[in-house]
Structure 1
Amino acid sequence: MPVLHIENLTRSFGATRALAGIDISVERGEIVALMGANGAGKSTLVKILSGAIAADGGTITLNGSTIAPKTPHDAARAGIATVHQSTDIVGAPGQTVADALLLHRFAEGGTPFFVSRRSLRRQADAMLTTAGFSLPLDRDFGDLSAAERQLVAIARALANRADLLILDEPTASLSGEESRRLFDILLRLRAQGLAILYISHRTADLEAIADRAIVIRGGRVVGSFARPIDFSSAIEAMIGRRLDALQPAVRPQAATTVFEMREARLLPTSSPFDLSIREGEVVAVTGVLGAGKSRLLSAIFGASKLAAGAMLLGGKPYAPRSPAEAIASGVAMAAEDRHRSSLMPSGWPGHSLAATISLPHLKTWYPQGLLFGGRERREAAAAITRLGIKASDPLASVWSLSGGNQQKAVIARWEAEPSRLLLLDEPFQGVDVGARRDIIEAIRARSDRATLIATSDPEEAHEVADRILSIDRHTLQPIAVDATVNPAFQGTHA
């Protein structure tokens, strides 16, 4: 008898059919990968299983008993533990890591009235030990990186006794070493009989741990692949067409240098480096978590300062004291965690697709302070067509969109106005291969600016970049040129 059996599950949002009769089973001691393009229905399925929304029809059976969780608490009591891609609900600034780890126990009312800090630390430390992670228990949750918040979410889920563990893009913010540690934990849990439903766009993750892959498209199961998984066929089933390997189009080498860093140090203890990016060039910087990718982009965008060295934009000294000054100089940036840095909360003014695109341009578009929605809607409608954003209309809430379409909206924001330098921090995080191709085409279509991308995935770097650099210990260094890198930009210095 399977741990989880789903039969003919359906769910609609107005006229949109998100799930059109899903049938899935997961056996005890099995890791099943759930693959699907953005908008295929994966998130809807996870929300139903975790009790966030209800299904319109169909049945969910867990260990032989039919369940219909109405709340996340119902799902947890039934034996379903879910780790979502977004970590905003895991904790809040002002809480310690220990508090965030034990937050669910406080919410459930299972703790005594008086609780000692020593007892909390002991319980939290035991949870981290079980998960195989190490984090400072007294650190403010608000100061954690996206990867560290993800570790808190995973450790908390693993601490609950569950029959089914659902992981939604768990390695999107993790380094290679952290991912390997997580895989070791999941394989150990599988050996203990836990059923795991694993959602990821990273085929390397699935190849490492999945026993089977199920592909959904248009709210239906369109393929099932046993190990060894034929990922070429799985991807073809996922997007409904063959996806040939991307080869960046070779473009003429531009003569104009847009941005330079000279003798730059990101930290007082790091080594100096130079960086030069030309007009029309796309440069990717790769490195493990903590190597300095985000700090590099942050310094260029004025969110932090260089320890030493100089920057030039268009041949003139450039030293922004804030992101606002950077934007005014023609430097734009999409940060790593779009949910925290780029999207207004659901229900707030500015949470629509049109408002998301217009947000940093309000002073330029409406210098008199009076907001007229016509331009916002026109820009959003153009972005829907240009980037293939799957949205019902320009005024649709950005939170109603899939992760890949949310990321397209963030990219569209900086496509709406000319910029000299575009900075993208992990732009393909949680984005499926089809949406990734759309974003890459949009990035490479612009020859009037320079683009600097930070990514921890070398495969993504080779798909998008004319030139690739590595970063280690906060120091940039060139790497061997691969055949997929644009020959027109080979030989240029770091």
Structure 2
Amino acid sequence: MQALTDISFDVKLGEVLALVGENGAGKSTLMRLLEGVFAPTRGEIQVEGRTVEFSQPRDAHQAGIRVIHQEPEIVPDLTVAENIFAGDLPRKAGHFLDWKRLMRETAALLKKFGIERELHPRQMCGGLGPAQRQMIEIMRAVQAGGRLVAFDEPTSSLTDEETQRLFTIIRDLRGQGVAIIYISHRLPEITALADRVVVLRDGLLVDDLPAEGVTESQITRLMVGRELSEMFPDRKSSDGSVVLKVDAMNTEHVHDISLELRAGEVLGIGGLIGAGRSELAKGIFGFHRRTAGTVMVNGTELPSGDTAAAIAAGIGFAPEDRKEEALLLMQTILENSVLCVPEKVSSRGFYDRRKALALISQISTKMRLKASSLDAPVTSLSGGNQQKVVLTRWLACDLKILILDEPTRGIDVGARSEIYDLIRKLTDQEGLGVIVISSEMPELLGLSDRIVVMADGRIRAAFSREDANEEAIMQAAIPHGSAAA
């Protein structure tokens, strides 16, 4: 199968070129071509008018091309200085490492990037966070004379503040005449940063257009072949019975939570970061112990702080941080998918692989899970397919209620569309009650039959689908000093 076909584009010095497309569109393959991991079977790569051939990443580095990956390539047992100058350590007398020069040049780079108080040249890299590791990679590219720097999903593990600092650095690099390729599934970042947008779909270049004036809806249509608005068709309000009733629930983190969820309904949970949305979900699911109130499924009260009882009652929960809280990263797709149904994949008390394969193969096909094999490690999957593994796990259960916390975070537009379709099928065809927690207003408004808005660990407002709008939700989400007190 051909990953890329007749791809032709250019990127200019002092320009930010956004490269967008669904998972599988060819973005990663293109980056591997640029950094010398793969060689093109046809066509050529030119750097400043000169045709180049790369047989290894070192060749690309020497040509001034650097790719900064989603997971920065840092050696934890080396210092900040050694990581920045890896492969290009200053030496004296031809052989000996020039430590004084190394420390001096590293200190100058740290000051240039405004992080001299955050990192020290002699600091070991083992305990650094994602933003700090990323900064080291950027400084490594700059000190090596990088003329083209490609960023592959650089904000996936960054806070909002760290993201804004990265944007400032990228704009500074552009101002210094560096060519930037920026890959992101977050469309607001594309429209905020890019000078041009190149869109890939199924290994083909479908458009190359100026970023000025382009809308997220246009980019989405080019990526997936349909408008953003088509992802959220009109829904009829559910008149199903109440499957979940939370009455005056308190935990350490949320207070006086009362809500109902009906069969076949999507209940949206809105609010700002820190409002208590995830904590509400964890209180319902039993991760957090209740200090007051009740949680009932089909009229039966659940014990406090008992996730096993919640699962047995038919509640599934896909948390916001799937890698930390949902997936066993050292295990396979199949092993992750059957975690909650040992009784369905056992024979005489022992794990029965044939039963597991029969159960999960059927669900994963329905989920359109893209994987080479169910025995592949879960870490080999894209973010969207990892989320599908989490959902496959819950669909293997006898599910009545599904709680989704930021279900499309870190997922491209095409995979989002598939997850939206799945939510509709679960509610419309199978009658599940679904709770969706989302920070993305179009998603919250487009999916939900009703929306409750949280602030300061409490529910502050509730809206029907007809009455909900961005302004009303944001007004309810802003904490008030008297309430916080």
TM-score (ref. length: structure 1): 0.75
Match of 1:467 in 2: 450
Is this contact kept in 2: 1:302–1:320, CA < 8 A? yes
Q: Which blocks of at least 5 consecutive residues in structure 1 are unaligned? A: 1-15
Q: Is the 8 A contact 2:406 2:438 kept in 1?
A: yes
What is the aligned counterpart of 2:10 among 20, 25, 31? 25
Whether 1:331 aligns to 2:331 is no
CA contact (8 A) 1:263 1:273 kept: yes
Matched, 1:154 2:140: no
Following TM superposition, by how much is the alpha carbon of 1:37 offset from its aligned partner in structure 2, in angstroms? 1.6
What residue is the counterpart of 2:264 in the other structure? 280
Could you tell me which amino acid in structure 2 is paired with residue 383 of structure 1? I
Query: d(CA) in 1 for partners of 2:106 and 2:271?
Result: 34
* One-letter code aligned to 2:261: I
Counterpart in 1 of 2:93? none
Q: Which position in structure 2 is the counterpart of 1:432?
A: 412
Matching of residues 22-421 of structure 1 within 5 Å = 22-50=7-35, 55-56=40-41, 58-64=43-49, 66=52, 68=54, 70-71=56-57, 78-86=63-71, 104-105=83-84, 110=89, 127=110, 130=113, 149-160=129-140, 161=142, 162-174=146-158, 178-226=162-210, 227-229=212-214, 231-241=216-226, 244-245=229-230, 246-260=232-246, 262-267=248-253, 272-305=256-289, 308-314=291-297, 315-321=299-305, 323-345=307-329, 350-352=331-333, 354-366=334-346, 368-391=348-371, 394-395=374-375, 398-421=378-401
Question: Residue 481 of structure 2 corresponds to which residue in structure 1?
Answer: none
Instruction: From 441, 444, 463, give the equivalent of 2:421.
Output: 441
Question: Contact 2:284–2:295 at 8 Å: present in 1 too?
Answer: no
| Matched-pair contact (CA < 8 Å) for 2:426–2:432 | yes
> What is the alpha-carbon distance in structure 1 between the residues aligned to residue 320 and residue 79 of structure 2?
22
2:439 aligns with 456
Verify the 8 A CA contact 2:191 2:215 in the aligned structure 1: no
Shift of 1:229: 1.9
SS at match of 1:262: strand
Q: Residue deviations 1:469-494, cap 9 Å, x none?
A: 334444443266564869xxx9xx99
> How much does 1:428 deviate?
0.8
Query: Contact 1:266 / 1:475 at 8 angstroms: preserved in 2?
Result: no
Aligned partner of 2:480 in structure 1 is none
Deviation for aligned residue 1:429: 2.0
CA distance in 2, matches of 1:329, 1:373: 26
* Cα offsets for 1:279-336 (capped at 9, x unmatched): 3332233344444443443444444445x43341324443454644543443322233
Task: Specify whether residues 237 and 244 from structure 1 end up closer, same or farther in structure 2 by C-alpha distance, changes over 3 A only.
Answer: same
Q: Deviations over 1:99-148 (max 9, x none)?
A: 89668349659599999xxx89x9799749826799799x999999xxxx
CA deviation profile, 1:259-287 (whole Å, cap 9, x unmatched):
415242443xx765434333333223334
Task: Compute the displacement of 1:165 (Å).
Answer: 2.8
The separation in 2 between residues aligned to 1:468 and 1:171, in whole angstroms, is 28
CA separation of 1:342/1:408 partners in 2, compared to 1, >3 Å: closer, same or farther? same
8 Å contact from structure 1 (residues 271, 475) kept in 2: yes
Partner of 1:6: none
- Displacement of 1:208 in angstroms is 1.4
8 Å CA contact retained: 1:384, 1:391: no
Q: Which amino acid aligns with 2:26?
A: G
- Contact 2:243/2:400, CA 8 A, preserved across alignment: no
Instruction: State the distance in 2 between where 1:136 and 1:50 align.
Output: 28
Aligned residues: 452
Measure, in 2, the Cα distance between the counterparts of 1:330 and 1:124: 56
Residue pair 2:448, 2:465 contacting (<8 A) in 1 also: no
Instruction: Output the amino acid matched with 2:30.
Output: L
C-alpha distance in 1 between matches for 2:292 and 2:357? 43
Aligned equivalents of 1:253, 1:303: Cα separation in 2: 30
CA-to-aligned-CA distance 1:388-417 (integer Å, 9 cap, x gap)? 333456555555544323322322221122
The residue type equivalent to 1:167 in the other structure is F
In structure 2, distance between residues paired with 1:141 and 1:275: 46
3-state secondary structure, aligned to 2:5:
strand
* Counterpart-to-counterpart distance in 2, 1:124 and 1:303: 45
334-343 vs 100-109, which moves further: 100-109
In 2, distance between residues paired with 1:48 and 1:469?
A: 47
Equivalent residues of 1:424, 1:453 under 8 A apart: yes
1:292–1:190 Cα change, 3 Å? farther
Gaps of 5+ in 2: 91-95, 478-485
Higher Cα Rg: structure 1 or 2? 2
SS at match of 1:193: coil
How far has the Cα of 1:216 moved from its partner?
A: 0.9
Question: 1:25 Cα shift?
Answer: 1.6
Whether contact under 8 Å (1:38, 1:405) holds in the other structure is no
Output one character per residue of 1:205-255: Cα deviation in whole Å (capped at 9) or x when no partner: 222121111111121212111122255444333224555431351232333
